[in-house]
Amino acid sequence: MKDNVFGERLKELRIEKKLSQRQLGDILGVCNQTISFWETGSREPDLDMLVSIAAFFEVSVDFLLER
């Protein structure tokens, strides 16, 4: 995910919902460190998780990836 657009969008959406990384991790079934890795661009979620994230935030995968 080039230029970490995904991480920036994820962080913006998480903050808009007033969620901590731990809270979002609990919702998605991952640890808060995973959320941190995604937001900083250190790691990327797999396709199934991308779909879950998009569904939770009620946005498209395209929006998350800036397509």
Q: Inter-axis angle of helices 47-57 and 21-28, to 10 degrees?
A: 110
Q: Does the predicted TM-score (pTM) go above 0.85? A: yes
DSSP codes joined into one string, the chain: -GGGHHHHHHHHHHHHTT--HHHHHHHHTS-HHHHHHHHHTSS---HHHHHHHHHHHT--HHHHHT-
pLDDT one-digit tens code per residue, 29-45: 999 999 999 999 999 99
Pull the structure tokens for residue 37: 């890795």
Residue 13 in tokens = 């959406």
pLDDT of residue 3: 80
Mean pLDDT of 4-24: 96
Residues above pLDDT 90, as percent of the chain: 91
Question: Tell me, what amino acid is at 65?
Answer: L
User: What band does 2 get if pLDDT is binned at 50, 70 and 90?
Assistant: low
